[in-house]
Amino acid sequence: MIPMADNLNHSSVTVTNECINIPLHLNGPENLNYYRVDKFFNDYTPVFEKHCSPEEIEASKLNIKGRFNAKIYEEN
């Protein structure tokens, strides 16, 4: 195991590290200081399954399972 600071200091410039705040993430774009479009492209289901009820996951499916749209990505 390596210290997180060492990982950040020596990682490639193309690597993005994201910290997920569960309550803020569930609310998605309502939290403008937290919200970044890139943060909502990934499927974070494994993280949220450990900390949220199935009802919370279903209600925030778009925020948890990602907003990535391959068709729009390919067009642009």
Q: What pTM does this model have?
A: 0.62
Q: What is the pLDDT of residues 42-74, one digit of tens each?
A: 888 888 998 889 898 888 888 888 876 666 667
Is 11 domain-assigned? no
**Domain assignment of residue 12, yes or no:** no
> What is the spatial distance between Cα 50 and Cα 42, in angstroms, rounded to a whole number?
17
Q: Is 13 domain-assigned? A: no
Evaluate whether residue 47 is within a structural domain.
Answer: yes
Q: Is residue 6 a part of any domain in this protein?
A: no
Which residue range(s) make up the domain with 30?
18-75
CA 20 to CA 25: how far, in whole Å?
7
> Quick one: pLDDT at residue 3?
65
Res 8 pLDDT > 80: no
Task: Identify whether 59 is part of a domain.
Answer: yes
The verdict on residue 43 lying in a domain is yes
The share of the chain scoring above pLDDT 70, in percent, equals: 68
- Domains of the chain: total: 1
